[in-house]
Structure 1
Amino acid sequence: MDSSKLVEIVTIAIVGGLAAILANKGIAVFNDGLRPVVPEYLEGKISKKELAATSFAMSFGLVIGFGIPVSIGASILLVHSVLLMTDIIGTWAPSGKKGLIISGVVGAIYGVGLVLGLQAVVDAFALMPVNFMDSLSQVGAPVVISFSIFPAVAIASQHGFKKGSISFIATLLTLFIVKQFGTFNLGNGTTLTLSAEGLSLLVGMIFMIYYAIKVKSDGSNSNESLVSVFLERVNKIKKNWIWLSVTGGVISAATSLLLIAGDPISLNLMSEGKFNEAALAAFARGIGFIPLVFSTAIVTGVYSPAGTTFVFVAGILLRGNPIMAFIVGVLLMFVEVQLLTVMAKALDRFPGIREMGEHIRTAMNKVLEIALLIGGAMASESIAPGIGYFWVIGLLLLNQKAKRPVVALAVGPIAAILLGIIVNLLNLIGLFTPVVTG
């Protein structure tokens, strides 16, 4: 094995190991939808088993149905195929020192396994009698678009239906306009497509902050009591700045080695050698992710191992120089963590923004619950047409009556995965034949 290949293997192993450890410690998870759930476990509101089940349900289908297939043929891993699985590994591993060791080792092995055997993994799933992995990718489809709805829901909850409706319409118009007119020709046959979901979320966040700032203070000097509302959670992130900074640096280094990419657009551009365009696409994506990552971090005290994703931009611009990419990535993540503290202090000066936190968490959970349920139903119907909707609705209602119900967020995805397993077992004994289309 040559030295360059060894460097790549060691780098991806460190990425996988560190990310899994961060998930196990509750410091950072990559799945935006999982971030609001982690504090529920840390505060004892849900069990370790429920957290693990939720993580698996939310991420596994995206790993197999989205992350890995997108990576095939490009020789570059879509980071979702790595970090979504390390979320699962970290949450499934036990707590304490034993869990950290298990998370780090398994996460590292998984990262190396992806680099060495990506195609073998997909081929193994293809050997199943009924291939339901393609259908599982539909589980996360509604989440991407529906996430930009949560600011309007939070506004309606905090400020009333009228303001929530205004925000919803503005978000919808942004989504429509960017989808229709957000593609720009950069020359040489290259195009840049803005993230409609990211920009519509940004507009919704602007409305949410604007309405919150308009709430007048009662005149009392309550900054000391307000510090605990946001800064307690932000300080949790700040305390772990070394873990986060090193992880950000390693992710940037892995990007510079062309091992991983942050999104399908930059991945395809990188695989074609269009690195400047890839960096621009990654930068535009990062801008759109600032409100999402910062807001969820401030509210939940849980960060993303890739931060606001600007570490990918640094990696692309510093391609072939992993050491410099690592240094810049560390600095970028450190600056992000410090900005969180500044933003949290600013938020504490406004009572409306202080109160906004709980509305954000509630809105996120509700939006995710509905989106994942719809995605699970879509995937189940694709797996077993004519049965899927019945299956998901039935499990949803029965779950509500169970003595120990599954977390609502996990019902749709778990239902789809269970149905996929069941139809394969039925196929083996000749009781199910998949519908062939086309």
Structure 2
Amino acid sequence: METLFVVLIGMVAAILANRNIAVFNDGLRPIVSEHIEGRLNRRELGLTAFAMSFGLVIGFGIPFTISASIILIHSILLGTDIIGLLTPKNKWGTPVAALIGGLYGWGLIAGLEGFVKLFDYLPVNFLEPLGEVGTPVVVTFMAFPALAVAMQFGIKKGVLTFVVAALVRQLAVFVNEQGLITIGDNVVSINQEGMALIVGMIFLFVYAIKEKASEGSSVDLASLFSDKVRSIKKNVVFFMVIGGLIAGATNLMLMAGDPISLNLLSEGQTADAGIAAAARAIGFIPLVASTAIATGVYSPVGFTLIFVVGFFSPNVWLALIIGAAIIFAEVMLLSYIARFLDKYPGVRNSGENIRNAMTKLLEVALLIGGANASNMIAPGFGFFFIAGFYLLNEVAGRPIVRMAVGPVGAIAVGIIANILVAFGLMTIPQ
């Protein structure tokens, strides 16, 4: 039954990614939205997904999974993001994605250590450094409300929003470092990026709500936000299925949603793991909700509350049912949020600015991440290659979209580094 749960999660998650319904990587949701709206082709989307997620699977998800003998959710869902987006979205591509996703889930259960060691045979193992491509995304993502405010309401308000969000983030870091928030004997860490994002979104929506509608104008509920949320709602059954499966697998102590709860679970501290998961979920809600509303692409784990359900449910079947119900309620809540936003034209009109702000930030974050990853793979040469690659791409009229330059460039540097080492033209980086 344990293997069946993981195989089914792999299959359903790969289908959701393949059909552009949901992806786990927060930074990928705006990029998938760009593809849905025709501004990014499938090949570039797949390459970007691979570059953003594969290094994290190898360098982050799998090591935690091996060390605890419990699957860190990143291991499976970052992998299914890649599988789903690399396979074509057509009548044969979706079944193939489901099959590969299921096999991938089975492979995680069957054995991971040999897979990791396979890449050690490369002269330059660039898979771990490749994880740096996505590192700046979540951190920089918290700045998108400030950029959206500046675009719509002026640079002064944008700067104010940015400064306050940055201060709140640092206060959250201080609170975490000092252990000021506790539940019982457990120190609770708050998500600093999540707190900064909350503040930024509050500023954005306060400014937008103050923007009055002109006389005689009416609010159209078929706005950008409502359209995006409706596209999520029509797929709610898929979310209920995967939400129930993940809650059930968590209850079986097969997986966890973050390294902290994973380590607590491996030590048999299920209640403490549940508390840690709940604290993380609270900080994750604004990130998932805002990206879902703005992009129409959801997360297969929703607000991550399904992990809390799994930890505290008395048995696997109740966890499965409650997990499905929780993620159903989350999707329905998105609809109410969108309708609330539709009452205010300033908020509704901010949709395009939010999308543009996300795109601009991702272009910068992925370029920085790609440069850092490249320089870790081949010190000096990495920065040189990414800078030249970016500028030549600009001069050539951007045959590769800006968002894909960093990730694709980092992969290219990894391949080139191995070729140079093989021919004796480069020493292996220490």
- For Structure 1 versus Structure 2, the TM-score category normalised by the shorter chain is over 0.9
Distance 1:326 1:54, change over 3 A: same
Sequence identity, in percent?
A: 51
SS state at 1:35 partner: helix
Does residue 241 (structure 1) correspond to residue 236 (structure 2)? The answer is yes
Residue 141 of structure 2 is aligned to residue 147 of structure 1: yes
For normalisation by structure 2, the TM-score amounts to: 0.95
TM-aligned CA deviation for residue 422 of structure 1: 1.5
1:191 to 167, 172, 187: 187
AA paired with 2:261? S
Q: Is the 8 A contact 1:13 1:108 kept in 2?
A: yes
Once the 2 structures are TM-superposed, how far is the Cα of residue 404 of structure 1 from its aligned partner? Answer: 6.1
Q: For structure 2, list consecutive stretches of 5 or more residues without a partner in the other structure.
A: none
Displacement after TM superposition at 1:187 (Å): 8.2
The answer for the alignment partner of 1:134 in structure 2 is 128
Correspondence 1:291 to 2:286: yes
1:354-433 to 2 correspondences below 5 Å:
354-402=348-396, 405-433=399-427
Gapped runs of 5+ residues in structure 1? Answer: 1-6
Q: Which of 201, 205, 208 is the matching residue for 2:197?
A: 201
SS in 2 for 1:105: helix
Q: CA deviation at 1:374?
A: 0.7
Pairing partner for 1:342 from 336, 341, 347: 336
Whichever residue aligns with residue 57 of structure 1, its letter is A
- Rounded to whole Å, the distance in 2 between the matches of 1:375 and 1:229 is 30
Give the CA deviation at 1:190: 4.5
Cα distance in 2 for partners of 1:187, 1:93 equals 45
**What TM-score, normalized to structure 1?**
0.94
Residue 64 of structure 2 aligns to a residue whose secondary structure is helix
The ranges of structure 1 where at least 4 consecutive aligned residues each deviate by more than 6 angstroms after the TM superposition are none
Per the alignment, in what secondary structure is the counterpart of residue 188 of structure 2? strand
**Cα displacement (A) at 1:117:** 1.4
Partner Cα distance (2:89, 2:135) in 1: 31
Contact 2:208 2:347 in 1 (8 A): yes
Instruction: Classify the secondary structure of the residue corresponding to 2:8.
Output: helix
* Counterpart Cα distance in 1 of 2:163 and 2:39: 35
Q: Within 1, Cα distance between the matches of 2:64 and 2:113?
A: 11
Q: CA deviation at 1:68?
A: 1.6
Counting matched residue pairs gives 428
Distance, in Å, in 1 between the alignment partners of 2:184 and 2:341 is: 45
1:176 paired to 2:170: yes
Partner of 1:3: none
Q: Is the 8 A contact 1:153 1:363 kept in 2?
A: yes
Question: What amino acid is the match of 1:196?
Answer: Q
- Tell me the secondary structure at the aligned position of residue 91 of structure 2: helix
**Cα deviation, residue 221, structure 1:** 4.1
Corresponding residue for residue 306 of structure 1: 301
What CA RMSD, in Å, does the superposition of the two structures yield over aligned residues?
1.7
Task: Please say if residues 11 and 100 of structure 2, whose CA atoms lie closer than 8 Å, have aligned partners that are also in contact.
Answer: yes
Shift of 1:210: 1.4
CA positional deviation for 1:226: 4.0
Asked if the contact 1:54–1:407 (Cα under 8 Å) also holds between the matched residues in 2, the reply is no
